[in-house]
Amino acid sequence: MKIELNQNKIFYNNGKSTQEIHPFWLRERVDGEEFLDKGTQQRLFDPSTMNGEILIKKAEIKNGFLEVNFNDGVNSKLDINKLETEFSNKDTVIKSIPKKKWDSTLKNVKNFEYKEDFYESKEMYDLLVSFYEYGFVIIKNVPTKNNYIVKFANSIGSVRRTNFGEHFNVKSKSNPNDLAYTTLHLSPHTDNPYRNPVPCIQLLHCIENEVSGGYSTLVDGYTVTEKLKKEDPASYKILTEVKVRFKFTDKTVMLEDWSELIHLDDDKNFKQVRFSPRLDYVPMLEKDKLDQYYKARKKLSDMYNSEKNRIEFKLAPKDLMMMDNHRVLHGRTKFDPDEGNRFLQGCYIDFDSTEGKLRHLKKKFNL
Ligand SMILES: [Fe+2]
């Protein structure tokens, strides 16, 4: 990538082709102290109100800076490295972390250890990278007093409050409004598929676990759906096309949202899975199409529930698990409440929290 000048026009050359940079694009990026607030890095002017007829009167490249005089009297020195990071036109921090596929053979994923000054540490950066690679991460030895999970969540970003509260207590109880609050086996699912937006990340903090059952289970929705795409493209296709209704009802609220079970991005790549077979309602489609849909959903369900795709482990008191609720499905094995207490606390945060923290730490440690 190179910036080149030719008769007061500025070009960038990406090695394959050369393209002129719009003068207004550069004018929007002037960063002298009268144009950009040093602390917030926010503009002190509003380019949307400016006349678009901006031209370059003079341009020079000196010591890594592009010195430009614009026709409205503004002169600026622009950092070429900084400009070049914008040419790729996409997020260079989060998207550059490749997702690692995993199944039941997954071994040696690093657990992290809570310590003082954890949230501003290099360890936290490594933790977040690992989270984006695998879709989950476990942190040992996290304090459990006074709903510490809320402090933990708010130290990475902000708790995403829902109608279950700021955080929720996962204990069996009478008259539960969700099967999570029973002692039953929970098959792999994603949480809250009926919300818009669906909470991005679930934190689950083990406070007590005295029972012999109650193992946590995780399945990588990314690995499974990519496998389905390869093995049975027709099933994959229908599950990426048919939008189903997810709903939740209790005494004070009726939540509803529609989505495909496998949601793709604009480039037809994996974006999000939702799976919660007690809450999904497919619309009344033609019988043949529904035949295909039900076959495909059964296949996906069999894959999600297969031992081959699942990891199973027991959370110990003070373990805190962070899961990508758009990628990873979670569940648990049943347990006997007569054996002792099993008490987990949960809450949600959104991707802006983890992404914001990761970018901040990457810059802070110059990584
Ligand atoms: Fe859940």
What confidence tens digit (pLDDT) does each residue in 224-278 have? 999 999 999 999 999 999 999 999 998 899 999 999 999 999 999 999 999 999 8
CA of 260 to the centre of ligand 1 (A): 19
Q: Listing from the earlier edge strand, what are the strands of the sheet with 2-6?
A: 2-6, 9-13, 18-20
Residue 345 tokens, joined: 């606390």
Buried-exposed string 167-201: b where 16+ CB fall within 10 A, e elsewhere: bbebbeeeeeeeebbebeebbbbbbbbbbeebbbb
| Ligand 1 center from residue 191 Cα (angstroms) | 5
Q: Report how far ligand 1's centroid is from the alpha carbon of 128 (Å).
A: 21
CA of 181 to the centre of ligand 1 (A): 10
Q: Please, which residues have CB within 8 angstroms of residue 139's CB and are 6 or more apart in sequence?
A: 111, 112, 113, 114, 127, 319, 320, 321, 322
User: pLDDT tens digits, residue range 310-324?
Assistant: 999 999 999 999 999
- What 3-state DSSP class applies to 47? helix
Give the pLDDT of residue 267: 92
CA 178 to ligand 1 center in whole angstroms: 9
Which residues are paired to 58 by β-bridges?
A: 69
Distance of CA 347 to the CA centre of its chain: 15
Ligand 1 centroid, distance to 114 Cα (angstroms): 24
Instruction: Give me the chain's average pLDDT, please.
Output: 93
Whether the predicted pLDDT of 109 surpasses 90: no
Span 157-172, average pLDDT: 90
What is the per-residue pLDDT for 358?
A: 97
Tokens 């297969």 -> residue:
306
d(CA 310, CA 303): 9
Question: Rounded to whole angstroms, what are the CA distances from 123 to 44, 102, 159, 328?
Answer: 36, 23, 21, 23
Q: What is the pLDDT of residue 106?
A: 97
Q: How far is the CA of 187 from the centre of ligand 1 (A)?
A: 9
Q: How far is the CA of 189 from the centre of ligand 1 (A)?
A: 6
> Comparing 60-74, 176-190, 282-296, which segment has the lowest mean pLDDT?
176-190
| pLDDT average, residue stretch 31-37 | 91
The rounded Å distance from CA 331 to ligand 1 centre is: 7
Instruction: Check pLDDT > 80 for residue 89.
Output: no
pLDDT, average across residues 152-173: 90
| Dist. CA 174 → ligand 1 center (Å) | 18
- Exposure string (b/e) for 65-94, b if CB count within 10 Å is 16 or more? bbebbbeeeeebbbebeebeeeeeeeeeee
Band the pLDDT of 175: cuts 50, 70, 90.
Answer: low
